[in-house]
Structure 1
Amino acid sequence: MFMKSGGIAAAIGVVTVAAAAFTLSSAPALAQEETSCGTGRTIDIAEMTWPSAAALAHIHAIILERGFGCSVEIVAGDTVPTSASMLARGTPALAPELWTSAIEEAWKRGIADGVVVQLGDAITDGTVEGWFIPRYVQEANPGLTSAEAVIERPDLFPDPEDSSKGRLYSCPPGWVCELSTSALYEAFDMEARGWNLFSPGSGGALDASIARAFTREEPILFYYWGPTSILGKYDAVQLDLGPVDMETYTCNTDTDCTNPPGVTAYPSSPAVIGAAAWLPQEAPGVAAYLARAGLTNAQISSLLVYGEENKAGAAETAQNFLRTEKELWTSWVPQDVAERVLSGLD
C-alpha cells in the first residue's frame, strides 16, 4: 500500500516556473517482458489542494504501485512549494497536474538545466475559464453565442433582487478571477447597459446558485472555470469573449495597473505532468506511461462529478475512475500492468 505523508517543503521560498516538452518519443520504448518499475527509489507524488489534481495523484499512485510495482508515497502539495522543492531537491518526483503559468520562468530554467522534465499535458485541451450560460437558454435564443450578445439582453437574465436589471454572477471575493470579471464588467460598460455584478461570497455559494438555476431550468449568466464537477454535471455553453490579449488581461488582474479595464478572453493556463529529471532516467517505462496519461477537460470534469455526487474523497474518486474507464486508462500501460491493476481494484 502506498504511503501518504503530511507535507512537503513548507519552508521553501517562492519560485516562479514554464513549459518545454518531454514527449513520449523521448522515453525508451516499453519492454515486452514483464514490466517493472525500473527504480528502487520511492516515487513521491504531489497531491495538490484542488479536486482534479488530487484525484490524478491517487490514480497514478495506484497504477504505479499495483501495476509497475513501484514504491509510492503521496505527499501534500501546491503549485509553488511543490515546484520549488522539485527544482531544489528533486522531490516530489511527480506533480500530476502542475499549472505552470504561475511558475513560468523558474520552471523553464529547471527544464533547461536538466533538473525537471515535462512528461506531457495533464489536461490535453487546456484549462477553461470564462462566462457561461445554460445550453437550454441558448437553444431558446440561438443568437446568444457571445458575451456582447448576452449583454444586449439583460431582460433574459433578471436579477432576483431587482428584475429591472440583469445579473452577472462573479467570482468569489479574494480570487484573481474576481478582479478579471469585475474588469470585464467595467470594460463592457455593463452597469450602464442594465446589469448588476453579483458577488456570491464563496465558491460554495456560487456552485449553489448555478445548481439551483439549472435544476429549475432558469437563466443564469456566470463566471466559471474547468475542469470542474460543475461543468461536468451541467450542460453550460461558454460565451465568446473575443481574442486573448495578454497585456490587457495582465492589467485587468493587477490592482496596481492604472490603465482602464479592457475586453479580453481569459487565457488557458497550461497544466502539465511535471517530474524530477531522475524519474525518466531511472524509470523510463513509468515515464512513457505518464506521457500517455493526459485527459481532456470533459474527461476530468466527468470524473469529478462522481466525487461531488457521492461526497467521495480523492482516493475513492480514483478507484471509481479505474473501475469505470478501463478502456481509456488501460491504453496507457502494457497489458501486464493493466492486469495487475485490475486484479487489485475493490
Structure 2
Amino acid sequence: MLAGPAWAQITVLDQAQDQMQQEAGTPVAEPAEAETPPPPCGTQPLTIARMGWPSAEVLAEIHAWLLAREYGCQTRVMPGDLAATASAMGSTGQPAVAPEMWVTRVAEVWNAAIAAQMLRPAANSFAQTQLEGWFVPGFVAAAHPELKGTAQLRQVLPTLNGGKPVPFISCPLDWACSLINRNLVAALGLKGLVEVIEPENRFAMDRLIAEAVSRKEPFLLYYWQPNAVLAQFDFAALDMGAYDAEAMACLAQQGCAAPRPSAFPGETVVVALAEWVFTDLPAIAGYFQRASLPLAEMNLLLAQLNESGATVEGVAERFVTERQDLWKSWVGSAP
C-alpha cells in the first residue's frame, strides 16, 4: 500500500496527465454510470383481461392499481369474456393476465393451451374453492350454536318454526342445483321438515331472501359465491361434509334411487398467466402466485359495488387504499 510522498507523487502525475489530455483536445473519460435495471414489468404495458362479470372486473382493476403503485408497471385493462380470453392467451400469449379464469368452463381450450405451454395457472383467484352451499341467517346460527352443518339440521329444524316446515329457498326449477337440492333434502332425511321453494328466476330468488331476512323468519337457502347477497345480509355457511363424486353423480339425476349426502364440487378458479410472464417477468409472476383473495372479502367488494354511485374503479381504488393488510403479502419484496 502506498502512503505519504509516493501517493502524492502519483496524484501529481495523474493531474498532469489530465491537463495534457485537455490541452491536446483529448476528452477525459467520465466514470461509467451504473446500468438501470430493467423494470419488473418490462418495457411494454402489461395487458390484463377485465371479463364481463363484477368479481372479474373488480379483480382486474385491483391488480392494475397494485402493479402500477407497487411495481411501477404500465398496465392496460382490456375487455374480454371467458372463452375468448382463454383462446387468445392460448394462441397469442395476450392478454398477459386473466385474474378470474374458471377452468372447468373452458376445459378443452385450457388443456390445449397448457399442453402447448402458452399459459399456466398462478394462484387460485379466491382462497376457498367451495363456492356453492347451504346457508342459514346469522340470527339462527347465533341462537343454535350446535348447528354447524347439514348433519345437525334434522335435530334443529323442528325447533325453528313452531313445528311447521322451515322454508328452504332453493334455485329456479330450470337450474341443475334445484334437482341436486331436492335429492339432498331426501339424503339428509329432511322431508317434511322443510318446504322447498324454487323461485322463477334469480331476481325472484334474491327478493324472497330479502323478504325473509326483513321478517326475521328462520329459513334455509342455497347460494353461491362470490356474491354480494352473502355480504349484504348476515348468513352463516353450513358445513356440508366432504365431496363424494359418486354420490353427487346420483344427486344430479332425476331418478336418484338412493341419494347420499355430499358437498357440492369445488371449482377451479385461477389467475391465468401467459407462459412468457413466468419466464420474462418473474417478479410479476411471483406477485400473481400470491394474489389469492378470501371469498368473504370479494363478497364485501361486490356489496360495495351495489351501493348508489359506486364504480368498479372506485371499489378497486378503495380496496388498495384501505386493505393493505390483505394485499401486502401479495406484493412481497416489490422494488
What is the TM-score of this pair, normalised by structure 1? 0.74
Q: Distance in 2 between matches of 1:311 and 1:179?
A: 38
Q: Partner residue of 2:220?
A: 221
- In 1, distance between residues paired with 2:180 and 2:277? 38
Question: Separation in 1 of the partners of 2:67 and 2:74?
Answer: 6
**1:98-123 residue CA offsets vs partner (Å, 9 max, x unmatched):** 12233446534533431111111211
Corresponding position of 2:312: 314
Query: Is the contact made by 1:46 and 1:94 (CA closer than 8 Å) also made in structure 2?
Result: yes
Matched, 1:86 2:92: no
Question: Once the 2 structures are TM-superposed, how far is the Cα of residue 199 of structure 1 from its aligned partner?
Answer: 1.2
Which residue of structure 2 aligns with residue 180 of structure 1? 180
Equivalent residues of 1:98, 1:274 under 8 A apart: yes
Number of aligned residues: 299
- The offset of 1:323, in angstroms, is 2.1
- The RMSD of aligned alpha carbons is 3.1
Q: Which has the higher helix share?
A: 2
Question: What does the per-residue CA deviation read over 1:85-137, in whole Å, with 9 as the maximum and x for residues that have no partner?
Answer: 32233233211011223344653453343111111121123243211112321
Q: Shift of the alpha carbon at 1:222?
A: 0.4
The equivalent of 1:138 in structure 2 is 141
CA contact (8 A) 1:157 1:167 kept: no
Counterpart for residue 197 of structure 1: 196
Contact 1:127-1:227 at 8 Å conserved across structures: no
**Do the aligned residues in 1 keep the contact of 2:49 with 2:60 (CA within 8 Å)?**
yes
Closer, same or farther in 2 for the Cα pair 1:203/1:38, shift >3 Å?
A: same
Asked if residue 107 in structure 1 is aligned to residue 110 in structure 2, the reply is yes
Q: Report Cα offsets for 1:69-89 as digits up to 9, x if no partner.
A: 3241321212x3332332233
The counterpart of 2:76, out of the listed 56, 59, 72, is 72
8 Å CA contact 1:145–1:240 kept in 2: the answer is yes
Matches within 5 A, 1:22-37: 35-37=39-41
2:3 equivalent in structure 1: none
CA contact under 8 A between 1:38 and 1:284: conserved in structure 2?
no
- What's 1:122 paired with? 125
Name 1:61's counterpart in structure 2.
Answer: 64
Change (3 A) 1:62 1:142: closer
Letter in 2 for 1:280: F
The answer to whether residue 330 in structure 2 is matched with residue 332 in structure 1 is yes
Paired position in structure 2 for 1:167: 167
Q: In structure 1, how many angstroms separate the alpha carbons of the residues matched to 2:116 and 2:207? A: 46
Name the larger-Rg structure. 2
Matched with 2:240 is 241
Deviates more, 1:229-238 or 1:127-136: 229-238
Amino acid paired to 2:57: A
Q: Is the 8 A contact 2:227 2:302 kept in 1?
A: yes
**Higher deviation after alignment, 138-147 or 101-110:** 101-110
Once residues 313 and 172 of structure 2 are traced to their aligned partners in structure 1, the CA distance between those partners, rounded to angstroms, is 28
- Residue 259 of structure 1, CA deviation: 5.8
User: Structure 1 residues 219 and 112, CA, compared in 2 at 3 Å: closer, same or farther?
Assistant: same
Write out per-residue CA displacement over residues 197-240 of structure 1, whole angstroms, 9 at most, x where no aligned residue: 10122323323333333344331210112222222333322223
- Opposite residue 172 of structure 1, the aligned amino acid is P
Q: What letter corresponds to residue 126 of structure 1 in structure 2?
A: T
**Structure with the larger RCO, 1 or 2 (CA within 8 Å, 6+ apart):** 1
Q: Compute the displacement of 1:268 (Å).
A: 2.1
